[in-house]
Amino acid sequence: MMVSHQPLKGKHVLITRGGEQGEKFCTDVATAGGVPYMIPLIAFRAHTDSNAPLFLKNMKEYDWIIFTSQNGVHFFFQQIRHLMDESELIHSGIQFAVVGEKTRAALNRYQIPSRFMPNVYTADDFAREFFQEVDVNAEKVLIPKGNLASKTIAESFRARKIVADEWIVYDTYYPTAATDQLVKLLKKDLLDVAAFTSPSTFHHFNQIVTQHHLQLHTKDILMAAIGTVTKRSIEQAGYQVPICPATFTIDHLFTELCAYFKE
């Protein structure tokens, strides 16, 4: 992302997401003059679901496959790789829906278009908008998801007497290696901003702060969040969250962060 000036000059920013997204956020922050610290407080691994053989066997019976995250997309294709390829899915008559633009981009990598994406990237908004905008003539949907994802979307289908199978394709867990790094960083009182990409990243952060009695070291840190659910989790712990973009992506969080300091 191009930044023509340096609105984050001298600002020390904690980035709690790893992987490609975290790396890009670090690069953006540095380009804007900031000092990024990437300490991933969330990680993902494949999950073995005992129902997986059944979901795979009945794959072509689903009218829709609904992805709630880009991890859901990647771990789903990892699971089906040895049994079918993307072209089979494309020509099966199954339709695809996604919760947000990053998830849609992940699906596009497999050359599969999504037929529906809500205007606001939350499970609640998906559930509401889907039935308003799509002419639903479905009997059965599959939702590949993480172990911590909500049941909101599945329940919205079940309320309409549509079978909704939830396939746990990945686990979200706390990478314990991050603890020492975070404790050392907080004790230095360098941070100006802590950016959280999910409720889980904040819960793990707060757990470390509480266990190591670091509350005094966090009171002046500016909290930034992606999504209203993440924002609510942070506020419930007693912090204010002045930065929360209307569009729930890391790119928009970065833009909002720059705008905050530019003002």
**What is residue 83's predicted lDDT score, i.e. its pLDDT?**
80
User: Are 243 and 223 in contact, with CB atoms under 8 Å apart?
Assistant: yes
Domain residue ranges in the chain: 12-42+175-262, 45-173
199: region left, alpha or beta (phi > 0 left; psi from -120 to 50 alpha) = alpha
Residue of 203, 185, 212 whose CA lies nearest to 239: 203
Query: Is 45-173 assigned to CATH 3.40.47.10?
Result: no
Please determine whether the domains at 12-42+175-262 and 45-173 fall in the same fold group of CATH: yes
Domain 12-42+175-262 grouped into CATH 3.40.50.10090: yes
Nearest to 223 by CA among 212, 236, 211, 213: 236
What pLDDT does 4 receive?
Answer: 56
Q: What is the pLDDT of residues 203-224, one digit of tens each?
A: 999 999 999 999 999 999 999 9
Euclidean distance between CA atoms 13 and 34, whole angstroms: 7
Q: Which two tokens stand for residue 169?
A: 């394709």
pLDDT at 5: 79
Under 8 Å between Cβ of 17 and 201? yes
pLDDT tens readout for residues 131-144: 988 877 889 999 99
Please list the ranges in the chain whose pLDDT falls under 70: 1-4
Residues 244, 224: Cα–Cα separation, whole Å = 6
Give residue 233's pLDDT. Answer: 96
- Alpha-carbon distance 166 to 66, whole Å? 10
